[in-house]
Amino acid sequence: MSAQEYNHIVRIVGNDIPGEKKITIGLTQIKGIGYNFATAILDTLKINPNSNVGYLSESDVQEIEKLITDPSSSNFPRWFLNRRKDVETGKDVHILTSDIDFTLRNDVERERITSSWRGYRHMYGLKVRGQRTRCTGRKGGAVGVAKGGKAAPVKSAGTQAIAAPTGEAAPKTAAATPAKAEPVGKKE
């Protein structure tokens, strides 16, 4: 490996990967490629996963990019791809980088437009995949119980009458108004 040229930064599929990282970990820095997918790529291309990214030759980098951009062309397993039976094309593809966010937004918007059940759940920010919502997934603030603070002091009827300005009638209170007595027995 010392005979090969060492690169401090290697560019793969538009991402700069530091040369000191192991190849498997370096490939996982590309959005859309996980650890298992990176390991499968290196097994397919017969590249040592324990070597550093900086020791990759230009031909190795080109082979990795070719396999990442079109994995179905080199007998890569279909079940490893992250977008099987695409809605628009019907093909099995593996999407990467910013295409993942774009495709996800389009899928959610399509579900909203068709007024599917999943579309409604996405629209109102609820759980989509059948999880329980009774006690988990709460996002809003607390409801029903006020935190802290002291109770306001109770005013007596006499203080309200004194506090009223002169010339105006004092507000009626329960103590000032006579209560009507209800008969205890049956009415006929």
* 38/24 Cα distance (integer angstroms): 6
Greater confidence (186 vs 159) lies with 186
Confidence of residue 29 (pLDDT cuts 50, 70, 90): very high
Q: Is the pLDDT of residue 166 over 80?
A: no
Q: Which residues, including other chains, have CB under 8 Å from residue 4's CB and lie 6 or more apart?
A: 55, 57
Give the per-residue pLDDT at 42: 92
19 near 53, Cβ under 8 Å?
yes
Q: Where are the domains of the chain?
A: 9-80
Report whether pLDDT(110) > 60: yes
Domain 9-80 CATH class label: mainly alpha
Q: Give the residue among 48, 89, 42 at the shortest CA–CA distance from 67.
A: 42
